[in-house]
């Protein structure tokens, strides 16, 4: 599917929180030139396209608008995760919103959680990439983990209904700590899947055996 280079530039720039002048400075062109690209009045030359792809953190194919977006992951989700080793049996759950553009996801906890909490969770933020419609990888900040930022890996359900995986982050000057984590559309599903991950040490028995249909 081809969505147009101009649309890709504009949507990805906004997703990353870049103004036209900031993007122009990053790739060495004028702000007016960015406007021309986004309106598709003019197409970037190959050297400029390479710089654009790097600045927007996409491939040249994605910049050209050639993306496979069969599963739309945008919308409201619930994140559930296992706390660090010293609280291994404790879990946290938070409402999050996902923005989906091409193969990239931006994850952010809602400003006002739907349920009051006596001990509110730090705001959850992150950025992930979809790989072949089967896996999500990226970084996450918050989640009450030991270090301010960590890496995340999720295996994506064949119909995009939920994702299961784990987080890893730094623990002290020399160590690492990890825990299981889940994304689901419904809070009850997130809690159930995380409980299954904890019980089976990551072997999701309810995972479908059939692959995604074309």
pLDDT in tens, 42-88: 999 999 999 999 999 888 888 887 755 457 889 999 999 888 755 55
Radius of gyration of the chain (CA): 19
Domains, the chain, ordered by start = 5-63 (1.10.260.40), 75-200 (2.40.128.120)
Mean pLDDT of residues grouped by 10 in the chain (214 residues)?
76 85 95 94 94 89 70 89 71 90 84 46 80 88 68 86 89 81 91 90 68 36
In this structure, are residues 71 and 103 in contact, taking their beta carbons and an 8 Å threshold?
no
SS3 assignment, position 31: helix
Distance of CA 141 to the CA centre of its chain: 11
Beta strand segments in the chain, E: 75-82, 91-101, 104-109, 125-131, 135-141, 149-156, 162-171, 175-184
| Phi, psi of 132, deg, nearest 5 | 55, 25
What pLDDT sits at residue 114?
A: 44
pTM (predicted TM-score): 0.62
Query: CA dist 46 to 51, 78, 103, 176, Å?
Result: 9, 41, 22, 42
């Amino acid at each position: 599917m081809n969505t147009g280079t101009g649309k890709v530039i504009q949507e990805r720039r906004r997703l990353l929180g870049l103004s036209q002048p900031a993007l122009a400075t990053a790739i060495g062109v004028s702000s007016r030139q960015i406007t021309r690209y986004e309106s598709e009045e003019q197409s970037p030359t190959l050297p400029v396209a390479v710089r654009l792809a790097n600045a927007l953190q996409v491939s040249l194919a994605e910049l050209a608008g050639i993306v496979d977006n069969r599963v739309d992951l945008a919308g409201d989700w619930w994140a559930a995760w296992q706390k660090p080793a010293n609280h291994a049996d404790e879990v946290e759950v938070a409402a999050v919103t996902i923005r989906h553009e091409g193969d990239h996801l931006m994850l952010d906890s809602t400003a006002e959680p739907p349920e009051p909490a006596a001990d509110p969770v730090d705001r959850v933020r992150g950025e992930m990439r979809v790989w072949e419609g089967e896996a999500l990888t990226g970084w996450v900040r918050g989640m009450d983990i030991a270090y301010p930022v960590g890496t995340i890996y999720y295996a994506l359900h064949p119909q995009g209904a939920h994702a299961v995986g784990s987080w890893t982050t730094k623990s002290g000057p020399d160590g690492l700590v990890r825990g299981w984590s889940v994304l689901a559309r419904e809070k009850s599903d997130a809690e159930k899947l995380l409980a299954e991950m904890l019980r089976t040490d990551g072997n999701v028995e309810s995972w479908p055996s059939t692959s995604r249909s074309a």
